[in-house]
Amino acid sequence: MAKVGPPIRLLTAVPICDGHDSAISTINLEFIRHGIEVIYLGYHRSADDIARAAVQEDVRAVGISSYNGGHVEFFAQVIRRLKERGGPNIGLFGGGGGTITHDDEKLMLKSGVSRVFFPGTPLEEIVAFVKKQYGGMRQGNGVVSQRGDDHALAHELTTALNSARPSRMPKRSSRNQRPRVIGITGPGGAGKTTLIDELVLRYLKSDPTLRIAVLSHDPSIIGSGALLGDRAAMLYCQNDRVFMRSLASASRAGGLAPGTERYLDILFQQPHTRAFDVIFLETVGIGQEAVPFGTGLVDQTILVMSPDYGSRLQLQKIAMLDAADIVVVNKSDLSAAKTASTEIEQRLAFNGRGQKLVSTVAKRHRDPGVDELFRLCTPHGGTGVPPMQRTQHGRDARATGTPLA
């Protein structure tokens, strides 16, 4: 069988103060249909958010859909931010109906935009452009810039994924550099991503020096495209202390991707000054049989469920209910939530392992359930790693886990 090369990775977004996401949603689907991996950042996104995400995701190019005006300046700003963040080789293209004029286009091309698409352009033409422009080898990867750290790590991850080396169990570099790995899993639509974002907010507020990584998985079939859309639901992960990478499962069953272990390995080996304190590992939406993390991959496992899992009998079939350290019933404002919590509580009591049950409404700001979950994730304050083992950056002396403002 012919070897399938890595897919083209693109990031798409809609600018700040613009909610016209219908065109980009259609274009995203067309990209995926043609084997392209699309990291979709969503709408109302700043130039800085776009550049940070593009660099961390190590994409070949950014596609922007802009309808509300200000595009000449906005596109130019994205290019400036990409350069500042160590991604000058990341291309930029886009469109935006009749709002972008041909005179604007001239200015945009001058500022470094590769191409502007106008109304009436067939989608195949856009796909053909992307394949031709970004399908080959990238030029000059070894760019180092002032804030090139994310860029260097992002590129290391890409290289690791494309190498033939098989995955192995990740090794933590030393006792003093011990990121806490929190595995978050559960069925699609339970609210895993929103919950992670809220936990990230609490971690960021708990310690001004803390650094967090998020590895987020979405499903894909090997050789085909994928929509990696978790970033669109993330607000607080758009922060310079958070490094997020989206992975396509590429036919690996069980919730993770072929490169997950290698990625973790690399995140563990980051130099002292930019070591991560906490790593979130978010799986694909899983089915009843999946136990994604096996043994030893994560320090703590959280299963996120929504109250609508069906009858009580269904609970007997969910394998993760035996393996999780914490079970979260998210969307606990729904009418079925009370019954769900009671049924799951009984199921966990039957296991007799002291597993915790928490009810959350992750979409609600300052939700007390998420606060409780955060406390369970940080048994020793801060990262959750005992202070004796957290000696890097002198952070062990800091009082962490402070209440949220």
CB 121 within 8 A of CB 128: no
**Sequence-separated (6 or more) residues with CB below 8 Å from residue 151:** 55, 58, 85, 86, 87, 143, 144, 145
CB of 169 to ligand B12, least distance (A): 40
What region, left, alpha or beta, does residue 352 occupy, with left being phi > 0 and alpha being psi -120 to 50 degrees? left
CB of 165 to ligand B12, least distance (A): 34
CB of 356 to ligand B12, least distance (A): 40
Question: 119 or 135, CB closer to ligand B12?
Answer: 119
DSSP tag of 402: P
CB 126 within 8 A of CB 118: no
Question: 118 or 350, CB closer to ligand B12?
Answer: 118
Interface contacts to ligand B12, rule CB under 6 A: 12, 18-24, 26-27, 63-65, 67-69, 93-99, 117-121, 126
Question: 23 or 204, CB closer to ligand B12?
Answer: 23
Question: 120 or 296, CB closer to ligand B12?
Answer: 120
Question: 26 or 162, CB closer to ligand B12?
Answer: 26
Q: How far apart are CA 286 and CA 254, in angstroms?
A: 7
CB of 10 to ligand B12, least distance (A): 8
CB of 340 to ligand B12, least distance (A): 33
CB 14 within 8 A of CB 66: yes
- Point out which residues pair with 184 in neighbouring strands: 282, 302
Q: Which whole-number Å values give the CA distances from 61 to 9, 45, 56, 88, 232, in the listed order?
A: 7, 16, 12, 10, 17
Question: 246 or 330, CB closer to ligand B12?
Answer: 246
Burial 239-253 (b: 16+ CB within 10 A, else e): bebbbbbbbbbbebe
- Point out which residues pair with 87 in neighbouring strands: none
Where are the strands (E) in 222-291, listed by range?
226-228, 242-248, 278-282
Fill in the amino acid letter for 361: V
CB of 111 to ligand B12, least distance (A): 17
CB of 190 to ligand B12, least distance (A): 25
CB of 396 to ligand B12, least distance (A): 46
Q: Which whole-number Å values give the CA distances from 268 to 93, 153, 173, 263, in the listed order?
A: 35, 11, 6, 9
Q: How many CA atoms lie within 13 Å of 48's alpha carbon, on the beta-carbon side? A: 6
Question: 30 or 84, CB closer to ligand B12?
Answer: 30
Question: 14 or 344, CB closer to ligand B12?
Answer: 14
